[in-house]
Structure 1
C-alpha cells in the first residue's frame, strides 16, 4: 500500500485543511505548553498536582492533534465533517455557557467567533458549499 500525502487542490479543501492545521496548532500548544494553554482558557493547575497538566496534554493536546492530523492525512469529506461538527458543538457549549453561566463576556464572544469559523471552514467543504 502506497501512502502519499494528500495535498489540497480545491479552495474548499484548502479551507478545511486550514481549519485542521489550526486545530493541530492548538493541540501542539496544549501538548507542549500546557500552562500557557490553561492560562489562555483562564484555568490553572494546582501546585503539587501534575495530573492536571497531564490531563491538559492528553485531553486538549492529544485529542486536537489526533483529530486535526486525521483530517489532513485522510483528506476525506466525512473526516472534515467530523472536524466541523466537533467545532460546532464546542461553539454550542460556549453559547450554553453564555446563557446559563453568566458568561456573556467579550472574551467568550471572541472564542465563539473562532469556534464558529473553525466549524464553518470544514463544514463548507464537506457539505459541498465550497467546491
Structure 2
C-alpha cells in the first residue's frame, strides 16, 4: 500500500475525487456539528445518535473509499467504480429529494452538481471515457 501520484489525466481525475472524498469524510468525522450546520441541520442535545450517524455513515463511506483509492493501486479500477457509483447514488438521492421533498434550493442543486462531478471524476476513466 503506497500513495502513487498521478502522471496522466485518467489517473488525475479519480485522484482528485479521492482527495475530495477524504477531506469530506474527515470534515464530517471530526466536525459533525459544523458539517450538519453547513447543511442546514442540527442534532438534539437529548439524542446524540445523529452525531454517530454523521461520523459513521456520512463520514465513513467517502473516507474509507477515498483512502482505498489512494492506497490500493492494484485494485484501482474497481475502487474507482465503487467510489464513482457511491457518489452517483448520493446525487440520485439528492435529486429524488429535490423532486419529491420540495427541496429545490440553491444548496441542494449545488451539492447535486458537486456529487455528479465527483462521480464523473471516478467513472469517466474507469469506463474509458477519458484517455491519456
TM-score (norm 2): 0.90
**1:36 and 2:65 are equivalent in the alignment:** no
Aligned equivalent of 1:68: 66
Query: 2:19 aligned to 18, 21, 25, which one?
Result: 21
Give the CA deviation at 1:81.
Answer: 1.0
Which stretch shows the higher mean deviation, 51-60 or 88-97? 51-60
Once the two structures are superposed, the pairs formed by residues 79-118 of structure 1 within 5 Å of their partners are: 79-118=79-118
Aligned equivalent of 1:78: 78
Aligned equivalent of 2:128: 128
TM-score (norm 1): 0.91
The CA deviation string for residues 59-93 of structure 1, in whole angstroms up to 9 with x for no partner, is 12222210110111113111101111111111111
Structure 1 unmatched ranges of 5 or more: none
Equivalent pair of 1:15/1:121 in contact (CA under 8 Å):
yes
Matched position secondary structure for 1:56: helix
Aligned equivalent of 2:6: 8
Aligned equivalent of 2:44: 46
Root-mean-square deviation (CA), in Å? 1.3
Runs of 4+ in structure 1 deviating by more than 3 angstroms, as ranges, are: none
* Aligned residue pairs, count: 129
Give the CA deviation at 1:5.
Answer: 2.6
